[in-house]
Amino acid sequence: MAEPEDMPLEPEQAGPEPSKGPGDDAPGTTPDDTIAGETAELPGHEDAPTERRPPVAAADAPQPEGEPPRLRDVTGTIGDYLRSRLTALAGAVRAHRLAAALVAVAAIAAVVAAVALATSAPSLPSEELVSDDAAARLETPAYSSGSFGRDDIIVPREVDVRSIARDGSTGEAVADVMVTYSGSHGISAEKAATLRYSATGGAWALVGEPENVRVSWHTTEGVDEERVIKNAGSILERADRALGQDDAEGPTLSELYAGASVQAEASAPDVESQTQVVELLFTRESAYERYECRMAVSFAFRSASGQWEIEGVSVEDGARERSLEPLVGTWTGTFQSQEADGEKCLAARGAGLVVTISSVRSEAGVEQVSGTVSGVAHYHAAPSSDTAASDGDTPFSDVPFTAALVEESDGTLVFESALPEDVGGTVTLSLTFGSADDPSRAVARVTTTYVHEGSFFFVPFDETFTYEDLFSLVRSADAE
């Protein structure tokens, strides 16, 4: 409140005029006879020069000693001031009644608005309320690893309140939220939804079920290689379809490599494109043959399902070609029997047989094995009786050979080779691997053909003697 202005006190009402005594007619003889603003002349100093001084303020006037201001005088002055102000205000109100009424109405409206604001709901739900509701009402998405993914358990990690706004058509509040979930093996999910709120009892409350719910999956790790190997059958079927072999003659890859061993080597996953390539090697190997299939499988992680799926398969050439690589090695022969045109010569029993296969190849569509052989040849006529050895038994060592596949049936492979020509005769080598009854069976036959010049009644003629020695074969590494 402004400090009261110094107001001049009103002069008191004049009483009866006092009677004049001697000297009363002299001007300026009493203070009351002096007019404010005029100069009074003191007796005896009429001729003295006049000095004008400013009036002395009442507050600065010295107070008689022993007489402090009286409380009645102070309160009276303040009361007079307040009454004058109230009178002025009442006059202003009477002069401006319309403006005063408007001010009063505005004041009442402000009070009503303040009360309504204190008892009504906020204009929008708070982010904290929306975040808590989203965490409580949105269920954790169900994760399934599928055929090739990694097992994982995801839990909620973060709630992002993206927007809160009014729905002009309903008056409700609408909030868009995103909840992030993740696990310990690189799997994560983002679940977006819309929540609706209604103002009830001075507060916002969630109404209805979450709307526009959608889930997007993401991964930072690749496929589970063990699961890829476990589900290799489905990959082979996909490869057959890619190669158009469903209706092709002969076994399909699925049939040829059923039960085969599988090795997997995965590249680093591309986190940005959510893809990964895995190199697979299928191997089907028996005692004497091998099939290999190499393929590159492209996987893609689907954001809609959260699972790895096969996107493409590329198969290298030669997946259906047989390899005879298991035949490579040194084979030791143990003598079993001999078939001859006459009596037998059993020199091979002591000499034994060693066959070394150093390479296998296919030439003009014919499979061949090459190496060396060591044994004994029978370059002599038939003995008169079975014998352990005969003149003309000739050992041979590390004789090179190349044997071609001449027969294949019921799991049996037969290779034959003619050894280089010798002055004493000819030797042929036959190698047989596998049989219908025994897939691991391996035998060798060494046949010696010897031509002897004889005579009958002095008529010369050639006589041929044949010896076929049979050996069972064991790979040297297996024998050890």
Tens-digit pLDDT string for the chain (480 aa): 444 444 444 444 444 444 444 444 444 444 444 444 445 555 554 555 555 555 554 444 454 454 555 656 656 676 677 677 667 656 665 666 666 566 655 666 664 455 444 444 579 999 999 999 999 999 999 999 999 999 999 999 999 999 999 998 889 999 999 999 999 999 999 999 999 999 988 899 999 999 999 999 999 999 999 999 999 999 999 999 998 876 566 789 999 999 999 999 999 999 999 999 999 999 999 889 999 999 999 999 999 999 999 999 999 999 999 999 999 999 999 999 999 988 999 999 999 999 999 999 988 889 999 999 999 999 999 999 999 999 999 999 999 999 999 999 888 999 999 998 776 789 999 999 999 889 899 999 999 999 877 665 556 657 899 999 999 999 986 544
Same domain for 378 and 430, yes or no, is yes
Same domain for 318 and 389, yes or no, is no
Other C-beta atoms within 10 Å of 146: how many?
18
Task: Give the chain's domain count.
Answer: 3
pLDDT of res. 20: 44
Phi-psi region of 70 (alpha: psi -120 to 50; beta: other; left: phi over 0): beta
pLDDT of res. 93: 54
84 inside domain? no
Q: Look at residues 200, 219, 238 and tell me which one is the last residue of a structural domain.
A: 219
Same domain for 198 and 232, yes or no, is no
Q: Give the structural domain span for 303.
A: 225-323
Q: Which residues touch 389 (CB under 8 Å, ≥6 apart)?
A: 345, 346, 347, 350
Same domain for 198 and 212, yes or no, is yes
CATH code, domain carrying 421: 2.40.128
Continuous H helices in 346-446: 347-351
pLDDT of res. 365: 84
Q: Using the structure block, give the residue that is written with the tokens 């202003």.
A: 92
DSSP state of 345: B
pLDDT of res. 258: 94
Same domain for 214 and 238, yes or no, is no
pLDDT of res. 119: 47
Same domain for 143 and 258, yes or no, is no
CA gap 248, 240 in Å, rounded: 10
Same domain for 153 and 278, yes or no, is no
Instruction: Indicate the pairing of strand 290-302 with strand 261-266.
Output: unpaired
Same domain for 177 and 211, yes or no, is yes
Same domain for 330 and 454, yes or no, is yes
pTM for this model (two decimals): 0.64
pLDDT of res. 108: 64
> Which pair of tokens denotes residue 281?
């090697």
H/E element, 460: strand 459-475
Same domain for 183 and 229, yes or no, is no
pLDDT of res. 22: 43
Q: Which residues touch 356 (CB under 8 Å, ≥6 apart)?
A: 329, 330, 331, 371, 372, 373, 398
121 inside domain? no
